[in-house]
Structure 1
Amino acid sequence: MDRLSYLHDEVLLDILSFLPSAKEVVSTMVLSKRWRFLWKMVPRLVYDDSYQTTEKGNFSTFVDRSLVLHKAPVLETLHFKLGKISGSGYTLVSAADYKSCVRELVVEIDISPSSSQTPVVVPWSLYSRICTMLASLILHNVVLVEFSAPVSFPSLKELELKSVKYSGNESVNKLISSCPVLEYLAVEQCKGDNLTTLRVRVPSLKRLSLIEHENNVVHEFVIDAPSLERLKIVDYSLGSRIVESNMSRIITASIDLWSPQTEQLLDSLTSAKSFFLCLPNSKDAYPVGRIFRSLVHLTICTCETEWLNVLIRVLRDSPNLKSLKIQKYHCFRSGERRPCWKETSLVPEYLLPSLETFELVDYGGTETEKEVVAFILRIASCLKQATIKTSKPIDHDKKLEMLKDFPVSSRRSPACLLAFSWSCAIP
């Protein structure tokens, strides 16, 4: 500890910032005179009530007193992990009273069975006091009420809403529209969140993540983000997606949908360089006639019954594809018939002039899998590496047996290296 005391204040403050909670930060004041007031300038405070062994009132008092004594003109991060004993928004009200210069605000509410189940409402005062300098806002498991007055977040660039409940559509849509320089938005919906229409109209937005796990509701996404570069949609609902602008700057897109209403969405992603696709059980889910000239990396999920048709259509429409990966990322739904290669009527005889790497994960040796591998080897004229990964260990004799299924004479590119490996990783 004596050696640490000789370090510059900036270094010591960085060290204190890595402590897990504000309780540990404040407790360093008893180490020596050198440390007595140092904690008051720490740029990151985490208030975690799971570290407290006292009752709710004492935790709130600790938050009040430490924020009053804290002297840093700007807090880089103010993080609340509540729910074990506090279980209310009173602590957040106190924070709004004492701190107005915060760059990142994180509010996480514990909803485990052992915690308080009382919904925690993020108070209006918290937004109105700290919104000017706020650059990042992360809310998990809270209740977001509709704003009682106009609000603006002129500096907010990152907004994350996970399992948040709303008073209605307008509360979240007003919040999003009040962020003129927003670059990253992540919304993960939960059951009973009262959200039926999510409007994302943000000209500055570069990254968007929309996740909806509930599969028995009807809702709507409206996306108008012409500067978008990265898009992730996981939607197992019966809703629809409306794209109001051409997303010509898209670089990476991950599309995991259950509803067959995908044509308009995919039609707006023709500039993407990297694709992850898991499309629903519908032959019409993929738009016909779209050319993905910029597509270089493609990953196809095999959990849906129509994945073969999706694969063939995307290969046909991607003349510059260099990397192809096929993997089952989700469990098969019970009772569904698996696809058969002979039933796939879209298999053309053409070349993949740009494909350089191909990877098939969780290879089980089925006839359909063999046909897919043979097909890729037959049409990829510049293929350099083909990797087949099994979920079980394979010995030397098994590898030799598998190689017989794909002889060199059947490959369009004789220089292609065919490798077999064992992968136990869970997708």
Structure 2
Amino acid sequence: MAGAVEPASLGMEGIPGPVMEDSSDDTGMCDEIPVDRISDLREEIISHILSFLPAESAVATGLLSKKWRLHWTKVTSFHFDDRWWLEKGISYYEKLGGSTNFVDFVNMVLLLQNREVSMNCFRLSVSDPEFPFVYLKIWITTAMARNIRVLELCMVPDTEYDDPDYPGGYAVDHEVYNDYEIYLPFPLYSCGTLEVLKLYGPIFTWVPHVVCLPRLTLLQLHSIHYESNESFHKLISGCPKLESLIIYRCHNDDIYDGILDFSISSPVVKTLKYYHDFSMCEACDTNIAPDFKLQIDTPALEYLSLEDTMSKEIIAVQELASLKEVEAIKAFYTSPGSIVALFQAFYHVKILDVSGEIMETLMEANKKWSASFQRLIKLTVEIGHSQWSCLIDLINCCPTLEFLHVSTYLDSGSANRNCERGPIIVPQCFSSSLTHVSYTGIRDLEDDDLTIFKFIVNNALVLKRVRVRTTSSLDLGKKIGLLEKILVHCRLSPTCNISLRVDSFEMDSMNV
């Protein structure tokens, strides 16, 4: 085993070593040397701690002492990031001042790692298209030979990579990679140990005829290229234990990711996060974009987050009977009929989050619900002032609702649209289950701005808490007026406590 190799043989001159503090005082006397408790830990614990460090720092601990010389060779998780090297002017091919370069460093770390230790995680971040991608296949193959469990590849140029799970965290500039074709080795699609696979950037998912990922439970695909919808379906079908599927789609000018009719079909997926947002790429114009379509066929789905500003049609192939939580439903250009039909698949949810665009679509469709959300206990909704009657229609279909979060905004519609929908019926949950309400967006003292608030507190029998938050742009006089008008407002529930928050100041009716 190559474990006897000294850390210096790795080209450690370019890697920052540990910082040692001088324990001597002004008189030259040395203080008592503190006990090294970390070194007394079991070797597997030390290796686990080192796995949270960047690869360069983990390897640099080999300079601490002879006892630490080989700890890094038993680390099970590595994060290799080329930015540290490139910022120091060390390219992929050249050596500066005798230091090794990024490619040589990764090669030697993988070569000298203890081969008896399985690799838990291999994370690679590449920020320069000049990277020699031939090494990508070599490193992935090496990780597979070490029984890799988590593989994360980020091919994102010149961007921060701190929070890749956030949909707006970064956008991929595909033009930078136009002359490059990044492919994954075919053996990866039959890796028997892989449990998590995350791909970021212009990676081509050209899958083989047979895909077999028997242990894969989480798949995240961000701004990658698809050969076809059939290829994507083949990939998903080869994951019999897939529980979480996260997809971000991004387009650049007239170049799309390869699929117009995107179909997500899996009998086992429980969590689905789907983001299809033209704002992730400033060059994308939805006026000239083709007719995108999304189909969802996931009968075991329990959680759904859907933000689609491109698809003109979204279809739930079958009723989502297992669905419990629907969060961040946003769809700007989807047809009203498609939105109404999509909601028919949500009747079993317990938590529902609806955007203002969806409420506007439902308002235009003049939707009168034919069924009810019998299990819904928490509803978060964004509405315009002209849509509050549509909100009441929706609440009327939620007989077990306990928590209501309303955020209002100024829309272009007329408040008279509320009267056009006929008389307002007090929802059943107002007298039996609705206990907590939060209301955000009050801008002035006009009656129209307080309509929803007054309707709720004047009709809800079992309310316990109502929190009202105003916009920070109100002047002092309006803030005082709101305090007087809201905190002493008549309310039907004798146990209801109303609180008003303006900026960082909060006051409730219990103290009035």
What is the TM-score normalised by the length of structure 2? 0.75
Mean Cα displacement is larger for which, 378-387 or 285-294? 285-294
CA contact (8 A) 1:271 1:294 kept: yes
Match of 1:170 in 2: 230
Q: Which amino acid aligns with 1:56?
A: Y
* 1:209 and 2:273 are equivalent in the alignment: yes
* 1:32 and 2:65 are equivalent in the alignment: yes
Distance 1:86 1:36, change over 3 A: farther
Distance 1:341 1:6, change over 3 A: farther
CA contact (8 A) 1:224 1:244 kept: yes
Q: In structure 2, what is the Cα distance between the partners aligned to 1:5 and 1:415?
A: 59
Match of 1:362 in 2: 441
Match of 2:74 in 1: 41
Match of 1:81 in 2: 125
Compare CA radii of gyration and give the structure with the larger one: 2
The correspondence for 2:153, drawn from 107, 123, 137, is 107
Q: Which amino acid aligns with 1:172?
A: F
Q: How do 1:281-360 residues align onto structure 2 when only pairs under 5 Å count? A: 281-282=360-361, 283-284=364-365, 286=367, 288-302=369-383, 307-327=387-407, 337-340=412-415, 343-346=418-421, 347-351=423-427, 352-353=430-431, 354-360=433-439
CA contact (8 A) 1:377 1:411 kept: yes
Q: In structure 2, what is the Cα distance between the partners aligned to 1:339 and 1:14?
A: 61
Match of 1:18 in 2: 52
Distance 1:43 1:61, change over 3 A: same
How many Å apart are 1:141 and its aligned residue? 1.0
Q: In structure 2, what is the Cα distance between the partners aligned to 1:287 and 1:237?
A: 26
CA contact (8 A) 1:64 1:94 kept: no
Q: How do 1:2-151 residues align onto structure 2 when only pairs under 5 Å count? A: 2-19=36-53, 21-52=54-85, 53=88, 54-57=90-93, 58-72=101-115, 73-84=117-128, 87-100=131-144, 101-112=147-158, 117-118=176-177, 121-125=181-185, 127-128=187-188, 131-151=191-211
CA contact (8 A) 1:217 1:239 kept: no
How many Å apart are 1:399 and its aligned residue? 6.0
How many Å apart are 1:402 and its aligned residue? 2.3
Aligned with 1:239: secondary structure?
Answer: strand
* 1:250 and 2:294 are equivalent in the alignment: no
The correspondence for 1:236, drawn from 294, 309, 326, is 309
How many Å apart are 1:324 and its aligned residue? 0.7
Aligned with 2:275: secondary structure?
Answer: strand
Regions of 4+ moved over 6 Å: 113-116, 393-397
Match of 2:14 in 1: none
CA contact (8 A) 2:225 2:258 kept: yes
Distance 1:297 1:403, change over 3 A: same
Distance 1:273 1:414, change over 3 A: same
Mean Cα displacement is larger for which, 217-226 or 319-328? 217-226
Distance 1:122 1:416, change over 3 A: same
* 1:159 and 2:219 are equivalent in the alignment: yes
Distance 1:227 1:273, change over 3 A: same
Q: In structure 2, what is the Cα distance between the partners aligned to 1:408 and 1:342?
A: 29
Q: Which amino acid aligns with 1:11?
A: I
Q: In structure 1, what is the Cα distance between the partners aligned to 2:177 and 2:462?
A: 61
Q: Deviations over 1:315-368 (max 9, x none)?
A: 11111111111125xx87xxx614416644345232412111111113212533
Match of 2:263 in 1: 199
How many Å apart are 1:396 and its aligned residue? 9.5
Distance 1:246 1:129, change over 3 A: closer
Q: In structure 2, what is the Cα distance between the partners aligned to 1:219 and 1:297?
A: 31
Q: In structure 2, what is the Cα distance between the partners aligned to 1:409 and 1:48?
A: 58
Q: In structure 1, what is the Cα distance between the partners aligned to 2:425 and 2:159?
A: 57
Distance 1:307 1:342, change over 3 A: closer
Aligned Cα RMSD in Å? Answer: 2.8
Q: In structure 1, what is the Cα distance between the partners aligned to 2:304 and 2:310?
A: 18
Aligned with 1:388: secondary structure?
Answer: strand
How many Å apart are 1:30 and its aligned residue? 2.1
Q: Which amino acid aligns with 1:59?
A: F
Distance 1:257 1:131, change over 3 A: same
CA contact (8 A) 2:369 2:394 kept: no
Mean Cα displacement is larger for which, 78-87 or 257-266? 78-87
Mean Cα displacement is larger for which, 94-103 or 226-235? 94-103
Mean Cα displacement is larger for which, 133-142 or 345-354? 345-354
How many Å apart are 1:168 and its aligned residue? 2.9
Q: Which amino acid aligns with 2:92?
A: K
What is the TM-score normalised by the length of structure 1? 0.89
Mean Cα displacement is larger for which, 390-399 or 44-53? 390-399
Q: Deviations over 1:166-217 (max 9, x none)?
A: 2332332222221111000011110121221222221111100111112444
Aligned with 2:393: secondary structure?
Answer: helix
Mean Cα displacement is larger for which, 88-97 or 159-168? 88-97
Determine what percentage of the aligned residue pairs are the same residue.
24
CA contact (8 A) 1:137 1:160 kept: yes
CA contact (8 A) 2:205 2:224 kept: no
Distance 1:306 1:190, change over 3 A: farther
Q: In structure 1, what is the Cα distance between the partners aligned to 2:72 and 2:183?
A: 27
Structure 2: unaligned runs, 5 residues or longer: 1-19, 21-35, 94-100, 161-172, 279-285, 505-512
How many Å apart are 1:386 and its aligned residue? 1.0
CA contact (8 A) 1:274 1:298 kept: yes
Match of 1:224 in 2: 297
Q: Which amino acid aligns with 2:157?
A: I
Aligned with 1:99: secondary structure?
Answer: helix
The correspondence for 1:417, drawn from 480, 497, 508, is 497
